[in-house]
Amino acid sequence: MANNNNTKNLNVPNLRFPEFKGEWKKYKVSDILEFFPTNSLSWDQLEYGTDNIYNLHYGLIHKGLPTQIELVKCSLPNIKKELIPKNYTLCKDGDVAFADASEDTNDVGKVVEFLSCENKNIICGLHTIHGRDKKNLTINGFKGYAFSSEIFRCQIRRLSQGTKIYSISPKNFKDISIGVPSKEEQSKIAALLWLLDHRIATQNKIIEKYESLIKGIGNKLFSLKMRFKTNDGNDFPSWKTKSFENIGKTFSGLSGKAKEDFGIGKPYIQYKQVFDSPQIQIQNCGLVNVSDSENQNNVKYGDVFFTVSSETPDEIGMSSVLLDEVDEMYLNSFCFGYRLSSFEVLSPLYASYFFRDSSFRNKVVKIAQGSTRYNISKSELIKLEISLPSIEEQARIASFLSAVDEKIKNEKEILNLYLIQKSYLLRQMFI
């Protein structure tokens, strides 16, 4: 691909295929696209698995759908039969749909393009803007990437309005321009980015399979449906029941008087960290100002942390373990800690997987209290009993699961490289 840094005043992108030399033409988006009315059906007016008209809700644009929609590969909801609008415009291959609202300016105007409607009836719904090339200036597959390019996104961010919710309307598109090359060059650009998107999708599937593997095998190991052997081929000893209060003690997070700061203070473990990962990563910690009276909240290697309150049972009592040696670090007030008395009874690495497995999680959810929220206290947790293998078997289980975890980490790093590459191309290949 050729770099055009020496032609900054011309209507050409910084990066393009070498066989193309001519300048691009710039158009106002409103001069290219014809816009159609959309419906305002909410999620409770939609359903999955029927033969009714498909409906594109803006929430799916924000999360769940790729830039190019091939209906045979994506799952769209159907409109409930009694709520099908009387008037609507069906989507065609090459049509685009923008999300017209978001809490984040980076997501306002996020776009999808229909590539393979497969003669299915699809209409655009709540908070979407439905557009179609009225001048036949673009090929199918190009618009989705052009409207995802950084230069287009910058224009959208500049024009989006709102305080808590940012929005755009079809009227905004008269103030936004887009560069259009020949259809031959459009085809090359779209083909490259389409291949990259498919590689990203494949990488996501690889990660999903490994995550499913570690969850499935972990569940079998912790429920004794599958067990390792010792090095000489013998069975490990039977598991023993231990109570929480006999193998460790709980401690509180910060009192709330501590103040979170940016760039100063001491590292502290946040609620989101505990929920997101079974093992704490120091580099993801925030900083907090801690008073001398709160030094008792200092955490150590091997400490286990549990979330104490949540709106859903899936989040209550989620845990994470600190597996790094630290000098001074603190725990968020929305969590409490559990300090093991001896690593010869319960290994920290083993604990990071065991406390996330359904065999333990089900016990936590069972004792969680609340009507609108689920809550768990230190006094309730300390009463729980758990079944533990020998420290040698714990080491074998933890070693296997951490090896799969490392593979997942490596695959996510590969995914991130593909995403960086796509971001670079979306910045450099459009005007």
The answer to which of 1-5, 252-256, 325-329 has the lowest mean pLDDT is 1-5
Residue 293 pLDDT more than 80? Answer: no
- 3-class secondary structure, 41: coil
Encoding tokens for residue 346? 């319960």
- 3-class secondary structure, 139: coil
Position 288 scores a pLDDT of 84
Position 370 scores a pLDDT of 67
Position 69 scores a pLDDT of 84
Place of tokens 């032609």: 7
pTM score, two decimals?
Answer: 0.85
Distance CA 217, CA 354 (A): 12
Residue 341 pLDDT more than 70? Answer: yes
Task: Place 256 in a pLDDT band, splitting at 50, 70 and 90.
Answer: low
DSSP code per residue over 153-175: HHHHHHH-B-SSSEE--GGGGGG
Position 295 scores a pLDDT of 58
Task: Place 90 in a pLDDT band, splitting at 50, 70 and 90.
Answer: very high
Q: Running DSSP on this structure, what letter comes out for residue 86?
A: S
pLDDT tens, residue by residue, 40-67: 999 999 999 999 999 999 999 998 788 9
Task: Place 294 in a pLDDT band, splitting at 50, 70 and 90.
Answer: low
Task: Place 10 in a pLDDT band, splitting at 50, 70 and 90.
Answer: low
pLDDT tens, residue by residue, 197-239: 999 999 999 999 999 999 999 999 999 999 999 999 999 999 9
Q: Reply yes or no on domain 240-388 having CATH 1.10.940.10.
A: no
Over residues 274-299, the mean pLDDT reads: 80
Residue 424 pLDDT more than 70? Answer: yes
In the chain, % of residues over pLDDT 70: 95
Position 284 scores a pLDDT of 77
Instruction: Report the DSSP beta bridge partners of residue 132.
Output: 34
Which of 194-198's residues contact partners 24+ apart within 8 Å by CB, and which partners? 194/68, 194/141, 196/418, 196/421, 196/422, 196/425, 197/66, 197/67, 197/68, 197/422
Q: Running DSSP on this structure, what letter comes out for residue 315?
A: T
Over residues 323-352, the mean pLDDT reads: 91
Q: Reply yes or no on domain 25-180 having CATH 3.40.50.2300.
A: no
Position 165 scores a pLDDT of 85
Which is nearest to 339 in space by CA: 385, 390, 300?
300
Highest mean pLDDT among 68-72, 76-80, 268-272, 291-295: 76-80
Residue 372 pLDDT more than 50? Answer: yes
Sequence-separated (6 or more) residues with CB below 8 Å from residue 406:
none
Residue 371 pLDDT more than 70? Answer: no
Residue 363 φ/ψ, nearest 5 degrees:
-65, -40
Over residues 389-411, the mean pLDDT reads: 96
pLDDT tens, residue by residue, 158-210: 988 877 789 999 999 999 999 999 999 999 999 999 999 999 999 999 999 99
Domain boundaries, the chain: 25-180, 183-234+391-431, 240-388
Task: Place 360 in a pLDDT band, splitting at 50, 70 and 90.
Answer: very high
Position 266 scores a pLDDT of 84
Distance CA 366, CA 381 (A): 11
Out of 1.10.287.1120, 1.10.1040.10, 3.30.70.260, 2.60.120.10, the CATH code matching 183-234+391-431 is 1.10.287.1120
Task: Place 8 in a pLDDT band, splitting at 50, 70 and 90.
Answer: very low
Residue 122 φ/ψ, nearest 5 degrees:
-125, 135
Encoding tokens for residue 231? 């090095």
Residue 4 pLDDT more than 80? Answer: no
In the chain, % of residues over pLDDT 90: 66
Mean pLDDT of the chain: 90
- Identical fold, 25-180 and 240-388: yes
Task: Place 7 in a pLDDT band, splitting at 50, 70 and 90.
Answer: very low
Over residues 32-46, the mean pLDDT reads: 96
Distance CA 264, CA 13 (A): 42
Over residues 310-315, the mean pLDDT reads: 82
Task: Place 6 in a pLDDT band, splitting at 50, 70 and 90.
Answer: very low
Distance CA 143, CA 132 (A): 10
The answer to which of 181-195, 293-307, 348-362 has the lowest mean pLDDT is 293-307
